[in-house]
Amino acid sequence: MTLWQPDRRAALQSLGLLGASLFIGGRSARAQAQGAGIFWVNVQASGGWDQALFCDPKPNLRGPYLDRDLYLYNVPIRDAQGQAARGTAIVRNPSASAVRSTPGGGISYLGFADFQWDPQDADHPYQPFFPTLYDRITVFNGVDTATNNHSVGERYSAGGSLNEGMPCFAAQMAGALGADRPLSFINLGGYDETAGLLAATPLRDSLLPNLLAAAGPNDIAGDNQGTDRLLPESALAAVRAAQSQRRARLVDRLRLPTHQTALATVEAAGPGLTQLGRLRFRANDQTPENLLRVGLIASREGLAVSMNVISGGFDSHQDNEQQQIEALYRIFELLKFLIAESEAPADGSAPVPVVALVSSDFGRTPHRTEGGTDHWPPSSAMVVQNR
């Protein structure tokens, strides 16, 4: 079943109208968002990526530095016995400096970005990013970030302004389209200013078990599947009833405004905690893939609007190609997983429409010298959406 047909013009209109939606009441926009159910993701390539090595190819400037062996770590390979394994791959790409085009000529990119290595895992051959997702990608070259400073570039690329205090893209989307949802803005790191629009839900740094404590306080195994419980449901219901009665007694007894406000906050959190109980996820898995999966589950359940994701390693200088190939591999794998899991979830759940804005602090100098590359204001950005 096709849940949402990719319409690049519609997606870009949504991005362009975001600023207005923040100031025009918001109710109509919020209602439309809940009906559409789009999950907005900002993937931040931290450090300043080298767009000349993938979506803004400069073969004449970079070609002489691509005729070398590069290494990818913990990727599918064949071991000494010919068995599928994960290990270090040597990338020997004879077409690294060639400009390639996706089917139909829609996207031109440098062959470097195809990451061909030998030997691969024959059972799981590598699927290059652009040839695999070309019909879901829109590339923007020549994006002037107006800075070569990391902090300022992060603000500009993720918040749209060089000035401090501007909310990040994910916070803008969540604030405009569903600030009242329990997990409206899920934060996995990067530039995450909210400017008071709403509170973010951080899930990085081993915080996923904290979410389980709220979503499944009666769970033992850490998956909130309902197959194992600390207490029988009848006992848990009695605990909740006792908590409700205690709050009622406190309301009658406490008269100070600060106390009443605190109790009102606790009461207001009740429905949100009940909604969180619908989440089913593995809290003991902190891999990027599982964290993305949790975000998609939360969106499917109507609990989340947006997510911040950081993918680092792009601050390359002397050994530019080696650092960039490792960082690009990670971010491409992340995006491929996001699209695959949103279109056809592994557990058979319904698809989730996703729009991902992918950007970096800035770009890197077009001329690569023996000393490597440096920070450069012109950059590139991508919008990746599923179908």
Residue 70 scores a pLDDT above 60: yes
Query: What's the pLDDT at 1?
Result: 36
Q: What angle do CA 197, 40, 206 make, to 5 degrees?
A: 80
209 within 8 A of 283, measured Cβ to Cβ:
yes
Confidence of residue 302 (pLDDT cuts 50, 70, 90): very high
* pLDDT average, residue stretch 17-23: 35
Query: What's the pLDDT at 295?
Result: 94
Which DSSP category does 17 fall into?
A: T
DSSP 137-186: EEEEEEEE-S---HHHHHHHHHHS-SSTTPPPHHHHHHHHHHTTSTTSEE
Beginning with the edge strand found earlier in the chain, give each strand of the sheet holding 378-385 in spatial order.
137-144, 378-385, 354-360, 39-45, 306-311, 185-187, 201-202
Residue 41 scores a pLDDT above 80: yes
347 within 8 A of 81, measured Cβ to Cβ:
no
Query: What's the pLDDT at 12?
Result: 46
Q: Which element (helix H / strand E) includes 378?
A: strand 378-385
Residue 26 scores a pLDDT above 50: no
Q: What is the largest CA-CA distance in the chain?
A: 78
Residue 117 scores a pLDDT above 90: no
Location of structure tokens 């989440």: 279
Least confident of 77-81, 263-267, 306-310: 263-267
Strand 99-101 vs strand 108-110: parallel, antiparallel, or unpaired? Answer: antiparallel
Query: What's the pLDDT at 298?
Result: 92
Residue 236 scores a pLDDT above 80: no
338-380: per-residue pLDDT in tens? 999 999 999 999 999 999 999 999 999 998 888 899 999 999 9
Q: Is 2 helix (H, G, I), strand (E, B) or coil?
A: coil
Q: Tell me which residue of 47, 45, 43 sits closest to 308, measured CA to CA.
A: 43
* pLDDT average, residue stretch 89-108: 89
Query: What's the pLDDT at 31?
Result: 36
Q: Where are the alpha helices (DSSP H) in the chain?
A: 8-16, 18-21, 27-36, 59-62, 129-133, 150-159, 169-178, 208-215, 233-253, 257-276, 288-300, 320-343
End-to-end CA distance of the chain: 10
Confidence of residue 228 (pLDDT cuts 50, 70, 90): low
Least confident of 29-38, 85-94, 147-156, 258-267: 29-38
pLDDT top residue among 307 and 76? 307
Which DSSP category does 344 fall into?
A: S
CA distance 178 to 31: 8
pLDDT top residue among 344 and 219? 344
Q: Phi, psi at residue 229, to the nearest 5°?
A: -135, 150
CA distance 378 to 153: 11
Alpha carbon 280 to its chain centroid, in Å, reads 19
* pLDDT average, residue stretch 97-101: 93
Q: What is the fold, at CATH topology level, of the domain defined by 8-54+131-224+277-385? A: Alkaline Phosphatase, subunit A (3.40.720)
pLDDT above 90 covers a percentage of the chain that reads 53
CA distance readout (Å), 164 to 25, 167, 186, 188, 236:
24, 9, 21, 20, 46
Query: What's the pLDDT at 338?
Result: 98
Which DSSP category does 218 fall into?
A: T
Q: What angle do CA 135, 361, 9 make, to 5 degrees?
A: 30
Dihedral sign computed on CA atoms, order 16, 20, 26, 27: negative
Residue 87 scores a pLDDT above 60: yes
Query: What's the pLDDT at 261?
Result: 74
Query: What's the pLDDT at 19?
Result: 38
357 within 8 A of 159, measured Cβ to Cβ:
no
pLDDT top residue among 382 and 318? 382
What are 85's two structure tokens?
Answer: 């394994």
Residue 13 scores a pLDDT above 50: no
Q: Tell me which residue of 130, 29, 103 sits closest to 382, measured CA to CA.
A: 130
Residue 280 scores a pLDDT above 60: yes
Confidence of residue 43 (pLDDT cuts 50, 70, 90): very high
* pLDDT average, residue stretch 254-263: 75
Name residue 356's beta-bridge partners: 41, 384
32 within 8 A of 379, measured Cβ to Cβ:
no
CA distance 295 to 277: 15
Q: Tell me which residue of 211, 178, 217 sits closest to 297, measured CA to CA.
A: 211
Mean pLDDT of the chain: 84
* pLDDT average, residue stretch 171-189: 94
